[in-house]
Amino acid sequence: ANSFISLYPNPANDLFNVQVLGMESSPTVITITDMRGAEVFSKTYQPNGSAGIEISSKEYGLSDGMYLLHAQNKSGRSAQKLVVGQ
């Protein structure tokens, strides 16, 4: 299990929650790549006192399939598989 990144629900149909260690206190870069490594989403989230954010796969045009979600901040960096669609 990955304790740095928590993703749920996974698989996700549209909305999914991302929780990243240290996100509540330091800016965190979330990047989503497809399995070939092409970047499909990237955003820096400023700390807001909460360790979690919600991302809409539909809003960002993620088609069904498997992706890697990468998170990086001063606490570390990691990646986790994300499945969109059933």
pLDDT digits (tens, 9 = 90+) for 5-52: 999 999 999 999 999 999 999 999 999 999 999 999 999 999 988 878
Distances (CA, A) of 19 to 36, 37, 38, 73: 24, 22, 23, 12
pLDDT digits (tens, 9 = 90+) for 46-64: 998 887 899 999 999 999 9
- pLDDT at position 4 over 90: yes
58, two tokens: 């539909």
pLDDT recorded at residue 2: 63
Q: At CA 28, angle to CA 25 and CA 34, rounded to 5?
A: 155
Q: How many CB atoms lie within 10 A of CB 23?
A: 25
Q: Report helix, strand or coil for 58.
A: coil
- pLDDT at position 1 over 60: no
Identify the CA nearest to 35 among candidates 86, 81, 1. Answer: 81
- Cα atoms found within 13 Å of the Cα of residue 77, Cβ hemisphere only: 6
